[in-house]
Homo-oligomer: A and B are copies of this chain.
Amino acid sequence: MLAAHPLFSKLDRALSLNGNEREALIRLPLKAATIRADQDVVREGDHSMRCLALTKGLLATSKTGTSGKRQIMAFHIPGDMPDLQGLHLETLDSDIRTLSECEVVFIEHAAIHRLCNDSPRIAAALWKMTLVDASIFREWVVNVGQRTGPSRLAHVFCEMMLRMETAKLSAIDGSCGLALTQSQLGEATGLSTVHINRSMQTLRTRGLLSFDGHHLTIHDWDGLAELADFRADYLHLGSRVELAN
């Protein structure tokens, strides 16, 4: 079924696919794989001949400095293509690793290049996907550069919730599955685990959200968004997403 195609929903959100494009998408050769938690899928310096699309689980793009400390620059949810940049860059400049057990599909660069040649609209949609990713990186620079601990955390949660909703991965009650340890949240926000812990307590105490390491529920979207100085425009979601409050 087409709706179940790993790339369909995100592409179709960017442009309504016509018959030929759907055809071409279905013909794309995919290789599925399951990867257990805490494994590198691609590593900095790799020269890869294929891209991956996430279908289940949670991935993170990160770098590890010589000190050994890791910085997570992005989280990836099902539907995302975290190393699409490899299509035009010689080497990958970051690691991509699983945060939970993941299901992915691999697609050969050659096949994608063919797809792009056949359909300039799909090429444009893929390009646009990488541009949205870049926009998110920009916002993360702001996040780690400007905000306090609680505010950084709040921002990450706002972003993830909105992306989950857009990808139809959130529940009716406005909660979503999000498997993250406090230490990983620290790696994403540039804060120590201890400080993450105390910042989490702030968010909880203020009644903004509940988070148990597996499941995120936002109780007060407006309050959380205000604390985070969150404006959703950088996600380029197009149509407005309405949140249960």
Contact = CB atoms under 8 A, between A and B. Distances in A.
A195 to B, nearest CB: 13
Given A88-B131, A124-B88, A133-B134, A93 B145 contact: no
A29 interface: no
Q: Give the number of copies in the complex.
A: 2
Interface in A200-245: 229, 233-234, 236, 238
A142 to B, nearest CB: 5
A162 to B, nearest CB: 14
A148 to B, nearest CB: 10
A24 to B, nearest CB: 16
Interface stretch (A5-13, A50-58, A64-72, A176-184): A64-72
A116 B74 CA distance: 29
A144 B191 CA distance: 11
A166 interface: no
A130 interface: yes
A73 interface: yes
A190 B189 CA distance: 13
A37 interface: no
Nearest to A74: B138
Contact of A138 (B63, B127, B132, B147): B63
